[in-house]
Structure 1
Amino acid sequence: MDALYAKLETLEPGIARLLAHNPSAFTYYGTQSYLVGETEVAVIDPGPDLPEHIEALVHAIAGRRLVAIMCTHTHRDHSPAAQPLANLTGAPIIGCAPLALEAVGPRADAAFDGDYTPDRVLADGDSVEIGGRSVRAVATPGHTSNHLCFAYGDALFTGDHVMGWSTTVVVPPDGEMAAYMASLDKLRQRQDRVYYPAHGPAVTNPQQYVRGLLGHRMQREKQILRLVGEQPRDIPDIVANAYPGLDPRLVTAAGGSVLAHLLDLERRGLVVREEQQWSKAA
């Protein structure tokens, strides 16, 4: 995959991709920044503040007018390159609202970008004109409360809400399982042709894929209910039983997702907790 870093790939007319060199257990081969448009362009998810990636983005724009630098959310693998790119091009930063939370304990995924300062925040349904075509915001809270997807024609840029290689990390306090599930259902009802996520391959069967993600989360919920119904359990015990053979690098993230499920189940009156122990409600 090294040969693909900093190399512009045309995916279809008006949509191209640049891969940032920030591979990890949470980013797959790295963050995919997208260039949308032809004579005028927008950059979606400019990515981490890596000089070689920012240089590649400037080169890819190649004298065209950069209308907008658009961020799906403010994790540090998505938005930090926005300001340096804005400084170099004069383009406005448009997209998600600013959000930066300090982690309690070890982070389960990327930290927040505390320096992100948008020129314009998009609400659900707001749009930006790129060469006579609209890039429209689709609010999809869940992974983070400020997460947006961006629709361009019948293509949807899904950030971390739907990824082509892995399920999404949903970690409280900002990540919320009920919001995430509602956002998935919102996408299920759309008629997008293809998803372009920030990590992993394109999703060419969007409705079927989203139904699978919803089903997976519902099965995980049933599994958690069964485990806490057998006996009171803490989160590490649930993770050990629900994720056998899990990559140790992902244990913290799995614990975060289990907590997100438990908080949703608690809100619905299906589980109770006493200190660190969770049980099925009577």
Structure 2
Amino acid sequence: MRNIALVVSYDGTDYQGFQCQPGGHTIQDKLEAAIYHLSGEHVKLMGSGRTDAGVHARCQVVNFLTSSSIPIERWAIALNTRLPGDIVVQSVYGVPDEFHARHHALNKTYRYTINCNRTPDLFRRRYEFHHPTPLDIEGMKAGLACLIGEHDFTSYTSPLSTKPSHVRTILKASLELESGSEESLYANPIYGRAWDEIHYVGKQRGVVHLYVTGTGFLYNMVRIIAGTLVQVGEGKRTPEDMARILAARDRSKAGPTAMPQGLSLWEVVYEALPLSE
């Protein structure tokens, strides 16, 4: 038997999440079916983490055991010819027998994208949340900093979470305005300079990426953080409210759960392994 790891990217728009579920149309279903069609084996994939319905992945890592003699270098091309176009195997590795994609992950990074230009981007609408008014990016950054470290994230977790503990560690968190994406506040001839100066002072337009890196995440955690940060950016909450919400350990104190299409599993990090392509 060999242990094989796949690095997979997918557009989650049309799927009910990553993990198999009864009657579900999931990423795991499609991957396992493609492996069966290629090797004749029914395998059980182990994923680095779950993604919800409508959520994407730039770097999802999975592993499975196989007795197939297919060379490692042929798996990616062969699987991609058997997968739908919105799921792509980027690379394939032979890994040690004990490797487990979820248990051995040191940390994961999620990215949430907010487009706060006046109009949505037709060609990126499946991968970003459109918020049509400018946001206070600096205020959002200040609020986000309160979440770094080990905390009880009950306030930023869905009540449907089944985890026995909501204590998690955020290693890094940042907001980045996409280079070249900022839109002038005063470019719109309909509103005019005076209107924007009064209503949007201190706020910015553009495409904003929220990156959160942690050792583990809870159900809807990043999307609730994003939804609450948007309220800070709107001026409905202060940056200091982020810490007060965290301390409350009460989901009702936080903001809404942001739309799924803005979220992507961005990166998964492991210790150095003797990987062989």
Structure (1 or 2) with the greater helix fraction:
1
Give the TM-score taking structure 1 as reference length. 0.25
Give the TM-score taking structure 2 as reference length. 0.25
The structure with more radius of gyration: 2
Structure (1 or 2) with the greater strand fraction:
2
